[in-house]
């Protein structure tokens, strides 16, 4: 398997097996804490080889820089089927998140496990900025 895309973004959707992504970000700047991101998405595109056909589990974990969970892990699954005329297939995975809340500044990680093995991570930083007067 090859992770083609793994991003945190404002929104994502799939259209005719195409992954459509809007507003990739890795930093949230806020004037106050707690800070809330009203809507965001995690978008993944995974390329699977023929030898990887079959069922797979995907676990998405959200952690702060101390390794503490900040959200409940999200589990999903996919069954990979590759047509006889292809040597690989890609699957798109979108996780929409509402009201993502941060109570402190610092670094955060979104960790993606597939079949119990960490395959990629997405880094995010939350920064407190001073209000200009």
pLDDT digits (tens, 9 = 90+) for 17-70: 999 999 999 999 999 999 999 999 999 999 999 999 999 999 999 999 898 999
In 3D, which of 126, 124, 125, 110 has the Cα closest to residue 3? 110
Distances (CA, A) of 31 to 63, 70, 100: 22, 21, 16
Q: 112 lies in a domain? A: yes
Q: 133 lies in a domain? A: no
In 3D, which of 41, 23, 24, 30 has the Cα closest to residue 102? 30
- Taking the C-alpha atoms of residue 74 and residue 92, their distance in angstroms, rounded to an integer, is 16
Residue 131 has pLDDT above 80, yes or no: no
- Give 133's Cβ-side CA count (13 Å radius): 0
Query: What is the pLDDT, as a whole number, of residue 130?
Result: 84
Q: 11 lies in a domain? A: yes
Residue 97 has pLDDT above 90, yes or no: yes
Q: CA 108: distance to chain centroid?
A: 12
Backbone angles phi, psi at 60, to 5 degrees: -110, 120
Residue 101: which pLDDT band, with cuts at 50, 70 and 90? very high
Instruction: Say if CB 98 and CB 42 are below 8 A apart.
Output: no
Number of domains in the chain: 1
Residue 4 has pLDDT above 80, yes or no: yes
Query: What is the pLDDT, as a whole number, of residue 132?
Result: 74
Looking at every residue in the chain, the average pLDDT score rounds to: 95
Task: Tokens for 61, please give them.
Answer: 């974990």
pTM of the entire predicted model: 0.92
Q: 100 lies in a domain? A: yes
Residue numbers of the domain that contains 72: 2-128
- Which CATH number fits the domain that encloses residue 30? 2.60.40.2550
Residue 133 has pLDDT above 70, yes or no: no
């Amino acid at each position: 398997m090859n992770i083609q895309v793994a991003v945190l973004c404002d929104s994502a959707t799939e259209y005719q097996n195409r992954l459509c992504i809007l507003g990739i970000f890795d930093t949230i700047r806020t004037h106050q804490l707690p800070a809330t991101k009203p809507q965001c998405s995690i978008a993944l595109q995974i390329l699977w080889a023929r030898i990887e056909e079959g069922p797979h589990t995907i676990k998405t974990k959200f952690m702060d820089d101390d390794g503490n969970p900040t959200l409940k892990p999200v589990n999903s699954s996919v069954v990979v089927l590759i047509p006889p005329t292809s040597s690989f297939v890609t699957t798109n995975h979108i996780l929409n998140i509402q009201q993502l809340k941060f109570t402190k500044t610092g670094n955060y990680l979104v960790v993606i496990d597939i079949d119990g093995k960490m395959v990629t991570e997405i880094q995010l930083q939350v920064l407190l900025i001073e209000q200009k007067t």
